[in-house]
Structure 1
Amino acid sequence: MMVNCCGLLTASKEPVPLKSIEVEVEVRDHVATVVSTLNYENKEDKPIEAVFVFPLPGDAAVCHFSAKIGQKEIVAEVKEKQKAREEYDDALSSGQQAFLLEESEQSPDIFSLSVGSLPPGESASIRLEYVTELAVQADEGLRFCLPAVLNPRYQPQGSEAASVQVTSVPASLVPYNLSFSVRVSSPRPVSKVESSCSLDPLQYLNTEQTQATVKLAAGHKFDRDVELLIYYKDAHQPTAVVEAGQASAKPGTLMGDPVVMLSLYPEFPQAVMSSVAPCGEFVLLLDRSGSMSGACMESAKDTLLLLLKSLPMGCYFNIYSFGSSHEHIFPKSVEYSQETMEEALKKVGEMTANLGGTEILRPLKDIYSQPCIPNQPRQLFVFTDGEVGNTKEVINLVKRNSGSHRCFSFGIGEGASSALINGLAKEGGGHAQFITGTDRMQPKVMQSLRFALQPAVADISVKWDVPKGVAVTVLSPPITALFQGQRSLIYAQLTVKSHLISRIFRAAEGCVTVKYSLAGHPSKSQLNFSLKPAEDTGLTVHRLAARTLIRSLEMEETRRTRQQNEGVKKKVVEHSVQSGVSSVFTAFIAVNKGTGKAIQGPLVRRNVPTGLRECALFDDNMSYYNSADDCEDIHGFSYGECEEAYDGITVIRPAQPPRDPFLQLVSLQKASGCWERDPALAAALGKTSEEVENTKPSGVNQEVWATFLALIWLHGSKMEAQDEWELLAMKAASWLRAQNAPYATECVEAGNALLGFNVQKDALGL
């Protein structure tokens, strides 16, 4: 097995030249432009080469890279990767300063920055700029994440890719500091900005509250990903932004023509949605590698409990788990019933993070080898902390099987690979979620379950209606999935004959219509938009469009013959160089050719450490094990056993919260949706068995009474978590209706009196 072994480097053992990082973020509606300045200083007595491997969002379009030495600024160019590397090496060998920024060939969310020939006593500032789309969350917030944590990626057995060499330290020991500020502007008012990190108060810049600034509070340690959730009023409005082409670029090219970015939020007809009975084959795939140990694993198990209780009667399900090997609860998916649910929950309760490495490819192949069940659409839920080195191979496998299922992915904890999590959902026609810091996993997973229970949308087509003389070239891959109220983005290039440009774009309008079939019913969503270019957008839309096109071509390249690949690679390089946006086949290169005297002496290589999450293992010499996967390989015991099994190991893991009454109540629900009256239910409700029995209206069935009490308790004390229990409550209400139970009013009144609430009968869905 190949594992990334990373030593803990300290300032005393090996000086680190990265001193500070300054980040400025400009958020316009749902797009962020991020400018990072990395300040280096060589305090050694010899010239050094600093190498810093760090994470970026997987769908980011890196569009600017420059270096400032003294008063001189050198702006990097995008070149074919091998040429850029050769130019970098040539510059260093001739004693010149050079800077190289390149994307990992394994995963597009890992970048490597080489700062070459930094003389003794010299300082350098590196400026890196990228643009990225903000994902829509379960509660309608837009998520921005500045990745700070890069966990070493597990390299699966037999993988052809070379491992990314990441020098990692516990995030709290990272020797550089961070300053971080954000400016938000939108056509709609900014209602709030939240973060798992401490923020200074939100400052509004105008009375309409459409512009605001926010900063990290003083004293922040760069010890975890910086996640912001931005909320607008009436956020889910379809929008279109037309951006004028670059004046210096040739008309007819991507950068020379106007580009439009459409944000669509389809609303499905309610009559169709309510007429479709929920069904499906739900396959849950849980990461049980050592790095999932502790609170991550417990939260995942609680989430599986909630998921299993919320599944509809008549569906099918199975649970797979994986590490270096993989397991399944049933040989094949089984029909959902009280017996199969109980068996699954018993096995889930016994699960620990004891399966070693992160071999996600094998269980996926096993799942795809199972035949699909007629009239039960397959829905795959993948839970992982996303630390694998074969990201592209995994995503390609999902893509090849996208016609047979939808894939919903969940990145757990700091450092989860955004390229893997987003790629699984995008290529699998599903939805991606990230669970970090103190986030509860349950509401995000239940939102995805609601999406999975929606009927699959088929026969999706996009029709453009634009003025005569305008040609539309769609740059985004075809839409393969639509979900109620969820955003779909489309980028398109608008080519116009030169003599018509000013006339057409002054006052003309366009229209795009998305047609689709929902449960056999034809439906459509439509958006009219002005062709007049927006002001002050820079080239943000063009760069995001270029990134989308480049990513599509890179995915294409992995599925073609060698000869075809050369053609695809050539296209990627052309688009990357023309747009100034990074790709897997290109790199940014900057050479300081005006340094005059060549730098003397051999270069000393310094690897700048990146933070990794604080759920890790160290021995007495502070050598780092790659989460628990490495530890198990070296010492032959699992993460959970480390404290007792190996005298020199220290285990750092977050404290586990006590199990709450809500999860106790959920665990007692039957597959059919009802509850039975027993002491455990009374305890979850905070009452004695006698109190529950003595307040039951006469003539009422015990299960009916217990189910009323559970529903009243959920509505009375857990409304803030309604997203988590809404589906299982609907199932309970459906069960009550099927009983034709009399005394509903009496039960609600008696239940309110016992539990101290004032829940209305109508609120229970009866």
Structure 2
Amino acid sequence: MVNCGLVTHKNEPVPLKSIEVNLQTEGHVATVSSTLQYVNEEQGPVEALFVFPMPAEAAVCHFSAKIADQEVVAEVQEKEKARQLYDDALSSGEQAFLLEESEESTDVFRLSVGSLPPGQSAAVTFVYVTELSVQADHSLRFCLPAVLNPRYSPPGTSGGIVSEITAGSAQIPYSLSLTMNLSSPNPITAVKSQCPLEPLEFLNTDHTRAKVNLCAGHKFDRDVELFLYYQNPHQPTAVVEAGVPTAQPGSLMGDPVVMLSLYPEFPKAVMSDVSSCGEFVFVVDRSGSMSCPMRNGPNTEERITSARNTLLLLLKSLPMGCYFNIYGFGSRYKSFFPKSVEYSQETMDQAVQRVKQMQADMGGTEILQPLKHIYSQPCIPNHPRQVFIFTDGEVGNTKEVLQLVGSNAESHRCFSFGIGEGASTALITGMAQEGSGHAQFITGTDRMQSKVMQSLRFALQPAVMDISEVWSVPEGMSVSLLSPPVKVLFSGQRALIYAQLKGEACKSSDCKGTITLQYRLADQHVTNTLSFSIKPAENTGLTIHRLAARSRIRSLEKEQQAEGGGKEELRARVVELSVQAGVSSSHTAFVAIHKGSGEAVKGPLLKRNVPVPMMCMARACGRPRPMLQSRFRRGGRCKRKFSTEFRKRRQSTWTTFTHAQKRGAGVLNVTVSRISQPPAPQMMMAMNPMRMDCRANAVGLVADGIEFSSGDSAYDIDAEFSSDEADDDIDDPLLQLISLQKASGCWEMESTLAQVFGKSMDEVAKQMPAEVEPGIWATVLALIWLHGFKMDAHDEWQFIAMKAASWIRSRKVVDLSKCVLAANTVLQCQIKEEALGF
């Protein structure tokens, strides 16, 4: 591992000095220009390699390099041809640059800077276009990814370019400057970020144009997130963009393109309609990286801890009568139940106890196998399957995973959650798109619970279905859709639809077109008609054309992948459209060659990796766990130190042996099974990678003094720590209250509940109305406490409260108002009865 980017064997300075970013937004889309400043401070020519992340929905549309005073602009070429041109240029002594998309994932790019002479500087600029995602508060999110976590590649697969990451976040030697220019049809109200920003500067009186800068000196050691707020966010819009005058008429770049933004607002009556049906499958990443912190900084909650708390909240929020199951996965996977079970007090209690034991102890991130197992299970009649996937997104076989999700889209909806900075946008957004669901990213100070509960609300509430569009344009024109059909829209989701306007365009400003949208929401059929001007907007550039081309290219790539990589005509269409529109694809690359001295380079070029920040490394992430650790050594056989019980078993015939030992406040259960083939080393990383000293041929597991190994033995080892500790070790009063709720929605009157209220059991019990049952009293108290003290977290406990209110209604309490009044007195609140949902 190197300590920084372009270095000599003496760790001399790196060539990447700074990154300058200019961001131009136009409503719901953006154009991003990034300039990288390089300097070769070595004694000879070098080839620099910079692996960097990019939003999965983005498309690179420009790449250029400026060396001294001369600038060379890259061309889009078929990928193999571009690589050959790059290699030929280097061997001829010319300077060359190559920008290409990863074979495994659309959100990782590699920039090769070839044959940079000693003492020479180079400024490399690439431009990409992207859509801005909508957030729960109706803001638009732009993310400039900085963190690129190591991607786990399953055994037998190629690691791809993502394996070339070389440094941690503390070793980033370059800074970032960012300028953002905003333009919108609706007034701009605010721009927010967790990174320090200079004050927002409005450029006109109606506040439709503005400018903001990132504060100077920002180290690019974490993602930069910007949130844009506009007035009237639900107003549908249609923007027409003119084509390129010199392009061939009838081609995508030669014709106007229209972008329709659809962001429906759901009626309150629909939002309150919650289904009690469904099969909810929660798939939780338990790989070693999940023990990393949610973000950089002291006293930060671990990802696995946040996932456990979120699962607890989900389990308490499920409606009676539904079905559920929970999977944990890493290098292997296991489920709580053999198949989904009906939600009841008994099954919920079993699941809650197992959730408390979940650790980041299952090794790599192999998500493909658990998904295959889930899809192989028969669906439950009248209970639509909803799959919730929680992962930090560090996989190397993204395209294979997305193909699997897409091929099973008819049987389920997929809700995906990217945990922590560096989660793969291609994986997280791709799974949701392929599974007609919704994607969320939990970064910075975000609470996972609130974002997950938003997705649960989507899963339980009706969605916009059966969407169709009917276009009407002037005579002589026609419409050709460029984006795939929108299958489903949830409350809070937005769709962007691209279409090419063919034929002779009307020049008059009064010339109009219309689009009639028809869809079904719950039991209602809705029709909306939007009118738009055929005349293209001025000075919009080619952002919409390029995003439309990207949309069409992704559809063709998906179609080709579904054919197993065949269909050469599909590949040819992708290359043709990519070259025509000048945007990136999986089959093309940008190549730029600067004519230098023409002298062939003597000897091999020095290749240097330029670091990108990572959230954590296996050696530095998390803390050692006293109940369960792993040990990795280089080669040979690991020393065995088996327990007495296990040594007795070694000489006898057995298949599976389970050994339990008391360990502090719990029991350590170690299960050892004979298998026909010894597990591969990477499969044994399931325990905990904190003690990974090197890539190993033999692996040993140390579990509180019991040491096993798989160097040459056919043992499969599983370990689980069962805690005896009570629920009172939960620091968050809200989570403690939630943990005490029963599956039916009620609470029981007990001392632990009184402690949540800051009261003693006597204080609470003596003021209970005589005619009220203890369960009713406890439940009313809990609801008033939530409304009185936790309204800022309403999104997290709304389903908890709905279940409780429904349970109280079913009890038909005679004098409920008296009970509410007494509970308000105990808790010193003034919550009105109608606010509690009775």
Distance 1:636 1:198 in 2: 45
**Shift, 1:80, TM fit:** 0.3
Aligned ranges 1:512-531 → 2 under 5 Å: 512-519=515-522, 521-531=524-534
Structure 2 counterpart of 1:403: 410
> Is residue 48–residue 113 contact of structure 2 (8 Å, CA) maintained in 1?
yes
Give 1:96's match in structure 2, choosing from 94, 97, 102.
94
Verify: 1:733 aligned to 2:805, yes or no: yes
Structure 2 counterpart of 1:653: none
**Shift, 1:234, TM fit:** 2.2
Question: Kindly tell me: are residues 274 and 714 of structure 1, through their superposed partners in 2, closer, same or farther at Cα, counting changes over 3 Å?
Answer: closer
Structure 1 counterpart of 2:649: none
**Shift, 1:456, TM fit:** 5.3
Q: Secondary structure at the match of 2:64?
A: strand
Q: Secondary structure at the match of 2:162?
A: coil
Moved more, 659-668 or 522-531: 522-531
**Shift, 1:674, TM fit:** 1.2
Question: Kindly tell me: are residues 452 and 14 of structure 1, through their superposed partners in 2, closer, same or farther at Cα, counting changes over 3 Å?
Answer: farther
Structure 2 counterpart of 1:650: none
Distance 2:373 2:434 in 1: 18
> Is residue 47–residue 602 contact of structure 1 (8 Å, CA) maintained in 2?
no
Structure 2 counterpart of 1:573: 575
Distance 1:432 1:684 in 2: 33
Question: Kindly tell me: are residues 514 and 638 of structure 1, through their superposed partners in 2, closer, same or farther at Cα, counting changes over 3 Å?
Answer: farther
Verify: 1:536 aligned to 2:539, yes or no: yes
Give 1:314's match in structure 2, choosing from 292, 316, 321.
321
Question: Kindly tell me: are residues 613 and 128 of structure 1, through their superposed partners in 2, closer, same or farther at Cα, counting changes over 3 Å?
Answer: same
Structure 2 counterpart of 1:170: 168
Verify: 1:689 aligned to 2:761, yes or no: yes
Structure 2 counterpart of 1:668: 740
Equivalent pairs, count: 740
Moved more, 547-556 or 514-523: 514-523
Deviation per residue, 1:40-95 (Å, 9 max, x gap): 00011101111111101111011010000111111100000011000011111000
Deviation per residue, 1:91-118 (Å, 9 max, x gap): 1100011111000111010000011111
Q: Secondary structure at the match of 2:583?
A: coil
Structure 2 counterpart of 1:244: 242
Structure 1 counterpart of 2:456: 449
**Shift, 1:521, TM fit:** 4.4
Deviation per residue, 1:232-267 (Å, 9 max, x gap): 222122111110111111110000000011111234
Verify: 1:336 aligned to 2:343, yes or no: yes
Aligned ranges 1:222-233 → 2 under 5 Å: 222-233=220-231
Letter aligned with residue 440 of structure 2: Q
Distance 2:519 2:196 in 1: 44
Moved more, 224-233 or 161-170: 161-170
Deviation per residue, 1:662-713 (Å, 9 max, x gap): 1111111111111111111111112111111122222111111111111111
Letter aligned with residue 192 of structure 2: E
Structure 1 counterpart of 2:255: 257
Question: Kindly tell me: are residues 237 and 615 of structure 1, through their superposed partners in 2, closer, same or farther at Cα, counting changes over 3 Å?
Answer: farther
Letter aligned with residue 449 of structure 2: Q
Distance 2:30 2:808 in 1: 48
Letter aligned with residue 812 of structure 2: N
Distance 1:640 1:174 in 2: 36
Structure 1 counterpart of 2:509: 506
Higher-Rg structure is 2
**Shift, 1:15, TM fit:** 4.2
Deviation per residue, 1:488-538 (Å, 9 max, x gap): 1111111013xxx244x6322222223234455433343222222112210
**Shift, 1:723, TM fit:** 1.1
Letter aligned with residue 703 of structure 1: G
Structure 2 counterpart of 1:592: 594
**Shift, 1:593, TM fit:** 2.2
Q: Secondary structure at the match of 1:490?
A: strand
Aligned ranges 1:504-653 → 2 under 5 Å: 506-519=509-522, 521-560=524-563, 563-564=566-567, 566-593=568-595, 595=597, 602-614=604-616, 616-618=618-620, 634=696, 636=699
Distance 1:56 1:418 in 2: 8
Distance 2:274 2:826 in 1: 37
Q: Secondary structure at the match of 1:298?
A: helix
Structure 1 counterpart of 2:669: none
Verify: 1:150 aligned to 2:155, yes or no: no
**Shift, 1:561, TM fit:** 5.4
Q: Secondary structure at the match of 2:87?
A: helix
Structure 2 counterpart of 1:48: 46
Moved more, 527-536 or 456-465: 456-465
Letter aligned with residue 754 of structure 1: V
Moved more, 311-320 or 12-21: 12-21
Deviation per residue, 1:532-567 (Å, 9 max, x gap): 211221000001101111111111111115652x11
Distance 2:367 2:767 in 1: 52
Distance 1:156 1:177 in 2: 34
**Shift, 1:471, TM fit:** 1.1
Distance 2:527 2:689 in 1: 49
Aligned-residue Cα RMSD (Å) equals 2.5
Give 2:830's match in structure 1, choosing from 748, 752, 758.
758
> Is residue 267–residue 525 contact of structure 1 (8 Å, CA) maintained in 2?
no
Letter aligned with residue 44 of structure 2: K
Moved more, 148-157 or 382-391: 148-157
Distance 1:639 1:81 in 2: 48
Structure 2 counterpart of 1:708: 780
> Is residue 97–residue 595 contact of structure 1 (8 Å, CA) maintained in 2?
no
Ranges in structure 2 where 5+ consecutive residues have no aligned partner: 293-301, 622-632, 634-681, 709-728
Question: Kindly tell me: are residues 519 and 208 of structure 1, through their superposed partners in 2, closer, same or farther at Cα, counting changes over 3 Å?
Answer: closer
Give 2:217's match in structure 1, choosing from 207, 216, 219.
219
Distance 1:363 1:469 in 2: 53
Q: Secondary structure at the match of 2:37?
A: strand
User: Which TM-score applies when normalising by structure 1?
Assistant: 0.92
Distance 1:271 1:467 in 2: 39
Q: Percent identity?
A: 60
Question: Kindly tell me: are residues 183 and 162 of structure 1, through their superposed partners in 2, closer, same or farther at Cα, counting changes over 3 Å?
Answer: closer
Deviation per residue, 1:176-199 (Å, 9 max, x gap): 111122222222232222222222
Structure 2 counterpart of 1:193: 191
Give 1:390's match in structure 2, choosing from 377, 390, 397.
397
Letter aligned with residue 606 of structure 1: R
Structure 2 counterpart of 1:365: 372
Q: Secondary structure at the match of 1:611?
A: coil
Q: Secondary structure at the match of 1:168?
A: coil
User: Which TM-score applies when normalising by structure 2?
Assistant: 0.84
Moved more, 60-69 or 749-758: 749-758
Structure 2 counterpart of 1:352: 359
Distance 1:346 1:332 in 2: 18
Question: Kindly tell me: are residues 434 and 191 of structure 1, through their superposed partners in 2, closer, same or farther at Cα, counting changes over 3 Å?
Answer: same
**Shift, 1:145, TM fit:** 0.7
> Is residue 293–residue 640 contact of structure 1 (8 Å, CA) maintained in 2?
no
Question: Kindly tell me: are residues 745 and 638 of structure 1, through their superposed partners in 2, closer, same or farther at Cα, counting changes over 3 Å?
Answer: farther
Verify: 1:425 aligned to 2:462, yes or no: no
Distance 1:446 1:139 in 2: 14
Q: Secondary structure at the match of 1:86?
A: helix
Give 2:233's match in structure 1, choosing from 232, 235, 257.
235
Letter aligned with residue 437 of structure 1: G
Letter aligned with residue 348 of structure 1: V
Structure 1 counterpart of 2:667: none
Give 1:480's match in structure 2, choosing from 463, 476, 487.
487
Distance 1:740 1:551 in 2: 56
